[in-house]
Amino acid sequence: MTVPRDITLANIRSHQGDPYVPCSCTLHDTYGPQEDHLAQTLSEDDVSKELEREKTIAEQPPIPNGGMLAWLQVLGSFFLFFNSWGITNAFGAFQTYYNSPGGLLPTVSNSNLSWIGSLQAFLMLVVGIITGPLYDAGYFRHLLYFGSFLVVFGMMMTSLAGNYWEVLLAQAVTIGVGSGCLFIPSVAIMPQYFTTRKVIATGIAASGSAIAGVIYPIVFYRLQPQIGFPWTTRVLGFMMLATLSIPIAVMRVRVKAIGKRSIFDKAALKEPPYVLFTISTFFLFAGTYIPFFYMPGYGLSIGMDPDLSFYTIAMLNAASTFGRLLPSYIADRAGPLNVITPFTIITAIIAFTWTAAHNLGGVIAISLLYGLFSGALVSLPPSTIVHLSPKLGAVGTRMGMTFFISGLGLLAGNPIAGAILGSDNTGFLGVQLLCACCVLASGILMVGSRVFKAGVHIGVRV
C-alpha cells in the first residue's frame, strides 16, 4: 500500500535540517522531481517511522548554530582531520625519504611504496562503513579513544620498522584503521551544532588536514637528518598524541542519532544524480592525490634543489587550506554541487598545465594553484552527497557507499602512477596525464549529475 502524496511530502519537509539522521548529515532546501517517486514508493511503515522520528526530534533542544560549545566541536574536528587526512597528505614526505639512496626502503619501487599511502587512505574511508553505525549507536567517545590509540601506536611502530611489510602493517593498516575511526566523528558532529553555518564549519575543520600536511612534512624533513628516522617518527607520534588530546577533551555528542543505519541502499542505484556523482568520486580521488605523492620527485627530476623540491608538499597543502575555506563559504549559499563541479574542472586544467612546468617557477606555480583549487575537492563531497539524497534516512548509508567507491579510487590511483613512473623515474609525463585525465573525467561526470538533478538552469541551488 502506498501513502498519499500530501502525507509523504509533509513528513519529508518537516524534517528539513534534521541533524539527527544517521551520520549526522542534513538535507537542505531543494528536492527536485524525485518527490513524486518518493510519494509513490514510501509505505505506511516508512511514514510511521518518520512520524516517530518527528516526535523524538520535537522533544530535542534547538540546534545552537554557534556559541562556545559549538565552536569547540569545530576545534576538535580540526585536530581529528589533522591526524587522519593530514597524515595522508604528509605521506609524500615519507615516500621521498623511503625512495632516497640513504632511505629506509631504497630498493622498493615507487608503485609499491605508493601502496603504503594509498592503503592507508583507502582504509580511512572504507572503515567508515563500520564506524558510521557505531557512531549512530552512541559509541562516539569509544571511536575517539580507539582511533587515537591506533594512529599513535601505528606511528610508533613505524619507527621500529625495518622492511617493507613492517612499514605496510604499521603505517598503512594500523594508522589507516585508526584514521577511519576518527574521520566519521569529525564530520558527523557538525550538523548537531550548526544549521546555516554547517558547510563553513566543516570547511574550517577540514583545513586541519591541509595544515597538518604543511607541519608534519617540515618536521620530518628537518629532524630526520639530525636525529634519524626512528626518533623523528616518534616525535611525530608524540605530536599526534598531544593534538588528539584536544578533541578527546572538548568534543561532546549533543544528541544521539535516531534509528539504525543500513550499509547498502538499493534505491540509490536508480537515481542518476547520485550514481554519476559517486562514480565521479572514484576518478576524483584516483587523480587528486597524485601530485601530493609525486611532486617532490618531479622537482628533483628537473634539477630543483632537494630542499626546495621537498617543500612542494608544504606548498600544496598550504594553498589547500584556503582552497577548503572559501569554497565552503560559497557552497553555503550556492550549493555544494554548483561549487565543486567548476573547481574540479579547473583543477583538471591545472593538472594538464603541470606537463609544461619544467623549471622552478613553473613547479611552484603549479603547486600553489593545484593546492588552492583541489582543496574544494576534499571538503565538499560530504555536503554534496547530502544534497543529492532525497530521503533523510538514507543519507548516512549513501555517504558510506560513496566513501567506499572513493576509497577504491585512492587505493588504485597512486600505485598506478608509480607503475607508470617506473623505477628509473622517467615516466612523469604519464603520471601527470593520469592525474589530469582522472580529475577531468570526474568533472564531466559531476556536470552530468548536476544536469540530471537540476537541469541546465544555473540559478538552482544544488
pLDDT tens digits, residue range 157-182? 999 998 999 999 999 999 999 999 99
3-state secondary structure of 441: helix
* Per-chain mean pLDDT for the chain: 84
For residues 39 and 37, what is the distance between their CA atoms, to the nearest angstrom? 5
What percent of the chain stands above pLDDT 70? 84
More confident residue, 344 or 133: 344
Residue 259 pLDDT more than 70? no
Q: Work out the pLDDT band at 21, boundaries 50, 70, 90.
A: very low
Looking at residue 114, its amino acid is S
Residue 72 pLDDT more than 80? yes
- The pLDDT assigned to 362 comes to 94
The DSSP code sequence of 344-360 is HHHHHHHHHHGGG--SH
How far separated are the first and last CA of the chain, in Å rounded? 32
What is the domain partition of the chain in residue ranges?
62-261, 263-462
The DSSP code sequence of 352-420 is HHGGG--SHHHHHHHHHHHHHHHHHHHHSHHHHHHHT-SSGGGHHHHHHHHHHHHHHHHHHHHHHHHHH
- The pLDDT assigned to 45 comes to 58
Residue pair 438/312 in contact (Cβ under 8 Å)? The answer is no
Residue 353 pLDDT more than 60? yes
How deeply is 193 buried, as exposed, middle or buried, from its count of CB atoms within 10 A (0-12, 13-18, 19+)? buried
Residue 28 pLDDT more than 60? no
Residue 59 pLDDT more than 70? no
Residue 124 pLDDT more than 50? yes
The domain at 263-462 falls in which architecture?
Up-down Bundle (1.20)
**Mean pLDDT of all residues in 130-152:** 89
Q: Work out the pLDDT band at 257, boundaries 50, 70, 90.
A: low
pLDDT tens digits, residue range 275-292? 999 999 999 999 999 999
Residue pair 453/341 in contact (Cβ under 8 Å)? The answer is no
pLDDT tens digits, residue range 195-250? 778 778 888 998 999 999 999 999 999 999 999 999 999 999 999 999 999 999 99
**Mean pLDDT of all residues in 351-360:** 94
- The pLDDT assigned to 20 comes to 34
**Mean pLDDT of all residues in 313-323:** 91
Hey, what's the torsion of the CAs at 70, 254, 152, 84, to 10 degrees? -60
What sign for the dihedral angle of Cα 214, 222, 307, 217?
Answer: negative
Phi, psi angle pair for 400, to nearest 5°: -65, -40
Q: Answer whether 62-261 and 263-462 agree in fold.
A: yes
In angstroms, the Cα distances linking 175 to 17, 95, 121, 180, 213 are 34, 16, 9, 9, 16
What sign for the dihedral angle of Cα 335, 337, 340, 343?
Answer: negative
Neighbour count for residue 168 (Cβ, 10 Å): 18
**Paired residues of 2 in beta bridges:** 43
Name the CATH code of domain 62-261 (choices 1.25.40.10, 1.20.1250.20, 3.40.50.300, 1.10.3720.10).
1.20.1250.20
pLDDT tens digits, residue range 30-53? 334 444 444 444 455 556 655 665
Q: Work out the pLDDT band at 193, boundaries 50, 70, 90.
A: confident
For residues 53 and 21, what is the distance between their CA atoms, to the nearest angstrom? 9
More confident residue, 98 or 15: 98
3-state secondary structure of 161: coil
Q: Which of 194-203, 277-286, 316-325, 444-453 has the lowest mean pLDDT?
A: 194-203
For residues 306 and 298, what is the distance between their CA atoms, to the nearest angstrom? 11
- The pLDDT assigned to 129 comes to 81
For residues 413 and 408, what is the distance between their CA atoms, to the nearest angstrom? 9
- The pLDDT assigned to 352 comes to 97
Place of cell 600544496: 316
